[in-house]
Amino acid sequence: MMMPIPYLPRPLKRGGLFLLMLAVKLSMLWLLGTLIAPAAAAPVRKTVAAAKPRALPPAPVDTAPRVAVVLQTSLGPITVEVDCEHAPITATNFLRYVDQKRLDGTVFYRAMKLGVDENGQGEGLIQGGTQNDPNRLLKPIAHEPTSVTGLKHLTGAISMARFAPGTATGDFSILVSPLPGLDADATRPADQEPAGYAVFGYVTDGMDVVRKIHAAPTSPTKGEGWMKGQMLEPSVKIVSVRRATPPQ
């Protein structure tokens, strides 16, 4: 049985919680999903002479406004520039997953294909990450809407998947085309995600790899409901995710 996958799309006229990300082609499409909860801590057994806990290395301190991160996939590398200046909460969360190697061995599992533009380029997004794996998840983070950060869902944007605002954890999407319908818009009705989704950086190298993943085959049967037909078959492995230059 496939484990629940965050960030599922549904038609514009239906209510509910929308995920990141579904977008706009000619008009708006939207996204929806079920809640991701952080994994519960395992109980600790008391012993007469408990061993001292292993000291963890200090967390890296970020001073740069932007941090380059390389996602090494089975189809090639993708470099993203994470914007710590404009989206500090979301960028710091992503870097925490990177530094703790929680994204190593995950996959890009979804390609939302919305047709092609006038130049024949595919439109839509790819999605990958932790897939609700309790051994990988950290606590959900506060939502940073594009109306606050000033970042937009442009081609190459990397944006957090989520359910309700404030539930984003370790799944993300990369856009292969502009999807402005995913930006925050306070004039939209409550059931059409006025809070939008949280962009926290952009691809700086490897959009050819992103497009290759987007164009990869999908299963005609995998996926539930409106997800059917969007699941990559096979999925594309994320071998490792590392900072291009470790912080000093």
Transcribe 197-214 into DSSP letters: --EEEEEEE-HHHHHHHH
Instruction: Please state the rounded mean pLDDT for residues 119-144.
Output: 96
The single-letter DSSP state of residue 29 is: -
The residues spanned by each domain of the chain are 8-34+64-243
Question: In the predicted model, what is the mean pLDDT of the chain?
Answer: 81
Nearest to residue 35, comparing CAs of 2, 6, 15?
A: 6
Structure tokens at 41: 């801590």
In CATH, the number for domain 8-34+64-243 is 2.40.100.10
Structure tokens at 56: 């963890």
Report pLDDT digits (tens) over 154-196. Answer: 999 999 999 999 999 999 999 999 999 999 999 999 989 999 9
Place of tokens 């959009």: 207
Secondary element (H or E) of residue 173: strand 171-175
State what percent of residues in the chain have pLDDT above 90. 67
Q: How far is CA 101 from the centre of its chain?
A: 15
Torsion angle of the four alpha carbons 103, 109, 115, 116, in this order, in degrees rounded to the nearest 10? 40
Report pLDDT digits (tens) over 49-92. Answer: 334 444 555 555 566 799 999 999 999 999 999 999 999 999 99
pTM of the shown model = 0.76
Specify the higher pLDDT residue, 245 or 167. Answer: 167
The single-letter DSSP state of residue 227 is: G
